[in-house]
Amino acid sequence: MALVSAKGILEAARDGHYAVPAININNLEWTKAVLETAQELKSPVLLAVSEGAGKYMGGYKTIVGMVNGLLEELNITVPVALHLDHGSFEGAKECMAAGFTSVMYDGSALPFEENLAQTKEIVRIAHELGVSVEAEVGSIGGEEDGIVGTGELADPKECKIIADTGIDFLAAGIGNIHGAYPENWAGLSFETLQAIKDATGNIPLVLHGGSGIPEEQTLKAVDLGVAKININTECQTVFAAATRKYIEEGKDLEGKGFDPRKLLAPGAQAIKDVAKEKMTAFGSVNKA
Ligand code: 13P
């Protein structure tokens, strides 16, 4: 099945009271692991690409080529959207031109009026192309690929104004953080999430910083309208741990254990395990 916009995937999730994982990819192994798991579990999925990961993989056109090739040759029939994560204005335009089917324009660090104007322009361009748009209000805490946020609680009134630009789904800070959660983390603010939901109506909401949020909080967020949960750090840490174990056990020194197809296999399996765990927890299994 060809890449699709994320709009239908998220609206179905919102209506069905489950969430779909958006998993950040970094290379071929990552992409293959996520697609194979989604297919096995019959789950829709978003492949998320940060601008840093885009550069790392050679550029947006390379990613589009890789993903389209895998969809065809692995016979992937579940809905898959290729989504820019935390994009700049220029990055979002480049991704759309390259063939991404969904973009996040993140103007949350800008003064609100500027974020609003740029979001409107991205929506105009994207919707002519059938590309879905995510925007952000209130920065997500922590650091991801050089994007640093202080972790504000979004203002529901600002969420409503941004939602009214015609975006397809909204990321709003509710105390969530990219990367590991500190010991003294206060947890998600469900009060803020409820207020955002009340202000914005039916628009699907997005929860960033999905790694390490306790499952009961995740499920409560889904109950309150979250339809997409972003996962990055957890895949990175399990990939690194599995690769470390392989090397520490000396397996790269046994026979042809140095072959990258062997060396990277435990890490790829670890990503599959995380993807499976998230799809099961978020309720997206058998929803394709
Ligand atoms: P984590 O790295 O905390 O899983 O967050 C991912 C994310 O929100 C990507 O935008």
pLDDT in tens, 25-72: 999 999 999 999 999 999 999 999 999 999 999 999 999 999 999 999
Best of 30, 140, 208, 236 for a ligand 1 pocket test (most atoms within 8 Å of beta carbon) = 208
Which amino acid is located at 163 in the chain? A
Which amino acid is located at 41 in the chain? L
- pLDDT, residue 81, reads 99
In short, whether 232's Cβ falls inside 6 Å of ligand 1 is yes
Yes or no: say if 178 and 144 are a contact pair by the CB < 8 Å rule. yes
Distance from residue 257's CA to the centre of ligand 1 (Å):
32
- Residue 276 neighbours by CB distance under 10 Å: 16
Q: How confident is the model at residue 184 (pLDDT cuts 50, 70, 90)?
A: confident
Closest ligand 1 atom to Cα of 142: 3
Does residue 232 carry a pLDDT above 90? yes
Which amino acid is located at 136 in the chain? E
Distance from residue 230's CA to the centre of ligand 1 (Å):
5
Where would I find the beta strands (DSSP E) of 112-239? 132-137, 142-144, 147-149, 169-172, 205-207, 226-231
pLDDT in tens, 146-172: 665 556 789 999 999 999 999 999 999
- pLDDT, residue 274, reads 98
Counting residues of the chain whose pLDDT is more than 70, the rounded percentage is 96
Which amino acid is located at 59 in the chain? G
Yes or no: say if 209 and 176 are a contact pair by the CB < 8 Å rule. yes
Tell me if the pTM is above 0.85: yes
**What would the two tokens of residue 51 be?**
């601008």
In short, whether 242's Cβ falls inside 6 Å of ligand 1 is no
Q: How confident is the model at residue 186 (pLDDT cuts 50, 70, 90)?
A: confident
Yes or no: say if 278 and 34 are a contact pair by the CB < 8 Å rule. no
Q: How far is CA 117 from CA 122, 157, 161, 165, 204, in A?
A: 9, 16, 11, 9, 21
Report which protein residue has its CA nearest ligand 1's atom 1: 209
In short, whether 233's Cβ falls inside 6 Å of ligand 1 is yes
Query: CA-CA distance, 158 to 82, in Å (whole number)?
Result: 27
Catalytic residue list contains 85: yes
**What would the two tokens of residue 39 be?**
């297919």
> In this structure, what DSSP letter does residue 254 have?
S
- pLDDT, residue 121, reads 98
